Amino acid sequence: MVYTELKHLLKDYYPFTLLTDFQLQEMTDKATQATFAQNEFIFHEDENTDHIDIYFLVSGLAKNILHQSNGKQLSLRYYYPGDIIGLMVMFTSGELEFSVQALEDCTVFKLNKRHFFEIMTRNNDFSKVIWESIGERTKSLYDEMKNKATHDDEENVHLLKTRVKTLMNQPILIQPHLTMDKAAQLLDEKNVSGLIVNDEQLKMKGIITNKEILKYVSQPSSSNLVLDWMNKQPYYVEADAFAFEALSYIKNKANEFIPVIHNGSAIGVLTSRSFLNLENSSYLDLTYNVKNSRSINTLLQQSSLVNTTLQSFVQELVEKESYAYEVSEVITNHNDNIHRQIIKLAENEMKAEGYGTPPINYCFIIMGSQARHEQGFHTDQDNGVILTNYDHLPNRSNIDEYFKKFTQKINHYLSLSGFPECTGGIMAKESKWRKSLSEWKREIQTWKDELDAQEIQNFTMFFDFRPIYGDFSLAEEIRDFLTNKAKKSKTLQQLLMKDALRFKIPAHPLGIMNLKQKNKKINVKKTGLTQIIYSTRINAIKYGIIEVSTVKRLNELRKIQAMHPRDVENAKTALHYLHYFRLQQNLNQLENNQDVSNEINVYELSKEDRIKLKEALQVAHRMQQVTKISFNRNRVV
């Protein structure tokens, strides 16, 4: 029975798809199953190559270990479910001496070497692919060994692609119970323009600058404590923010002191001196103009579809060879700011119309590509609201009515601002996507227990959520609950795997792009991006990773050794290419007053770009295949 299941796996898995039914049956009949515990060697370099088998990895992770002459061990690749282990040792005459070790408990099928060789002699297509694979792997391994000592390029400190954490200075801290005289003394001694006021848990409570010192001196008071004079609501930026977002406030508000925050704690500060080496640019006004729009009509001019300054900014970023997924993050950050400003304006309207301020705490969340920081110029709305529990309150019906009206305003204004309403109804104004904390937990449990085809897509959308306005602690509680439930549910992961396989890569088995469409267009969102995003998401769920961005998820998978660094870089490079082609297409469409889309015409690309697209699709195809094998393990183990 187990070998019937192996045949079931192999018959849909390239390059075994090139075998005849008889050859496939012969290969599986001669196979045996084996398991290796975590940290056990699948084979060791000291073994005689005659005793080393060829393995098809069904479940778990393994890595190769190259033993260098200087005694240092080096790992140059990981093996994932669906990989064939042992080919290079078999065919490279002992030139590569390395071991393969299980990183997790592994299940493999040992493929009979003699029959494997015989089948290669009888099947030219299969043999050709195997030899090409060995050649590519061998060359790649030697190249990586040669370049292993090369360190990462130093970050180019340039306005258009610099993050604030590369520019910040060390913060000077002061506690709130100290006196303003002590604060003035510190400012003078350290020759700084501001101090961070922090509590005992090192969380930022406010700031003290020369402005607060002058107020203290000029306005006599019975209190001289920092707590009573500090600025409790300073403008601040997150450590991963782009420099232009902070610099716009220094330029337009004459701010001399901006805290840099990570997880609520100040890890650095920015001053005008921080930006001395950066260019002055009209792009600096992007963030400032959005956050200072006082009406919807004014805000409409900031939409990414009509804001020519943003479009020029994106074009320049692309031309300066920034990573395209970081350029997509710039667009997403701009859209986040528009969302936040619309929410503020909607709150003001609710007050003006007599509804008052929000009656309870809430958190506005976004989903999909915006949550992952992966937007292009073509995007619709995917959002929702998490409300603090209110069923026990006597005015709960009034609360329902308030947030129904409030979210209708938000979704309407977002639609006016260039974010079309979601055709699937994934919007905060819909009761399904506007729930209290307890209701969301019940909904997640229902998704886990009773998923159908529609619900799995809703779950997939919701899993990639990110808070952008309101009480973030509500979102953090839901994220922890959701991550824990999803990590433990193997059934859910199986269903997510099936959903991830809905979109196929249009590739010929020998690696040639197979475009059947008459117009030769390819939708890079459905063909390429989706496969990488879905595969990465499923592995993030498996390992309990809470990051939402695909790039950050990949980095976390590398960090916990669930993906080899080289495979992570390949995936990120593929993401870069796919985002790049979409951005270039969108910019051309906007310049020619055409509707933006995710489709690109392959034959309008240069030969070099077609090669890049092909490489990106091959990475996406492999990731999808690995996902299929990895999450089919319950069928064969």
- Can you give the three-state secondary structure of 386-455, one letter per residue? EECCCCCCCCHHHHHHHHHHHHHHHHHHHHHCCCCCCCCCCCCCCHHHEEEHHHHHHHHHHHHHCCCHHH
Q: Which residue has the tokens 């020998």?
A: 510
Q: How do beta strands 194-198 and 434-436 pair?
A: unpaired
Instruction: Supply the DSSP symbol for 69.
Output: T
Whether 547 and 556 have beta carbons less than 8 Å apart is answered as: yes
**pLDDT digits over 271-304, tens only?**
766 665 444 455 667 888 888 888 998 998 899 8
Q: Which helix (H) or strand (E) holds 219?
A: none
Report the distance separating Cα 568 and Cα 536, nearest Å: 10
Please give the backbone phi and psi of residue 505, each rounded to the nearest 5 degrees, phi first: -80, 130
* 69-83 CB burial, b ≥16 within 10 A, e <16: eeeeeebbbbbbbbb
pLDDT (0 to 100) of residue 396: 92
How far is Cα 287 from Cα 302, in angstroms, rounded to an integer? Answer: 9
Number of helices (H), then strands (E), belonging to the chain: the values are 24, 21
Indicate if the alpha-carbon torsion angle 514, 517, 521, 523 is positive or negative.
Answer: negative
Determine contact, residues 387/499, Cβ cutoff 8 Å: no
Taking Cα atoms as reference points, which of 64, 61, 155, 45 lies closest to residue 107?
61
- 157 to each of 162, 555, 556, how far by Cα in Å? 6, 22, 25
What DSSP state is assigned to residue 155?
P
Alpha-carbon distance values, 463 to 25, 173, 367, 466, 489 (Å): 41, 38, 8, 9, 14
Cis preceding linkage at 15, omega within 30: yes
pLDDT top residue among 32 and 92: 32
- Distance set, CA 176 to CA 212, 267, 618 (Å): 13, 18, 57
Q: Kindly report the average pLDDT of the chain as a whole number.
A: 83
Each residue of 53-108: pLDDT tens digit?
Answer: 889 998 899 988 876 544 556 677 889 988 888 877 655 444 456 788 899 999 99
Question: Residue type at 98?
Answer: F
Among 542, 563, 607, which residue's Cα sits nearest to residue 551?
A: 563
Of the pLDDT bands very low, low, confident and very high (cuts 50, 70, 90), residue 168 is confident
- Walk across the sheet containing 237-238 and list its strands: 237-238, 258-262, 265-270
**pLDDT on residue 160:** 43
How confident is the model over 473-520, as pLDDT tens digits?
899 999 999 999 888 888 888 888 877 777 777 655 444 455 555 557
Q: Residues 310-330: pLDDT tens digits?
A: 898 888 888 877 889 989 998
Please say if the pLDDT value at position 154 is more than 70.
no
Sorted by sequence, the CB contacts under 8 Å of residue 477 that are 6+ apart come out as 437
**Alpha-carbon span 78 to 96, nearest angstrom:** 16
Q: Is 31 helix (H, G, I), strand (E, B) or coil?
A: coil
Closest CA to 572 of 232, 348, 325: 325
Residue 247 or 366, more confident? 366
SS3 category, 87: helix
Tokens describing residue 487: 């990590």
Average pLDDT of the residues in 135-163: 49
- Look up residue 445 and give its two tokens: 């449990």
Alpha helices in 243-365 (DSSP H): 243-253, 285-291, 296-300, 308-319, 324-352
- Greater pLDDT, 257 or 410: 410
Per residue in 564-611, pLDDT (tens digit) is 998 999 999 999 999 999 999 999 999 898 988 888 888 888 889 988
**Which residue would you say has higher pLDDT here, 460 or 554?**
554
How confident is the model over 212-260, as pLDDT tens digits?
998 898 887 889 999 999 999 888 888 888 777 777 667 666 567 889 9
* Least confident window among 261-265, 343-347, 447-451: 447-451
Mean pLDDT, rounded, for 303-307: 89
Residue type, 59: S
What span, in angstroms and rounded, lies between the C-alpha atoms of 310 and 586?
Answer: 13
How far apart CA 326 and CA 322 sit, in angstroms, is 7
Amino acid (one-letter) located at 431: S
Is the whole-model pTM more than 0.85? Answer: no
**More confident call, 277 vs 426:** 426
Of 10-14, 381-385, 622-626, the range with the lowest mean pLDDT is 10-14
Burial tier of 264 (Cβ tally within 10 Å: 0-12, 13-18, 19+): exposed
Name the range with the highest mean pLDDT among 288-292, 349-353, 612-616: 349-353
Print burial letters for 184-218: b (CB count within 10 Å at least 16), e (below 16).
Answer: bebbeeeebbbbbbbeeeeebebbbbeebbeebee
3-class SS of residue 489: coil
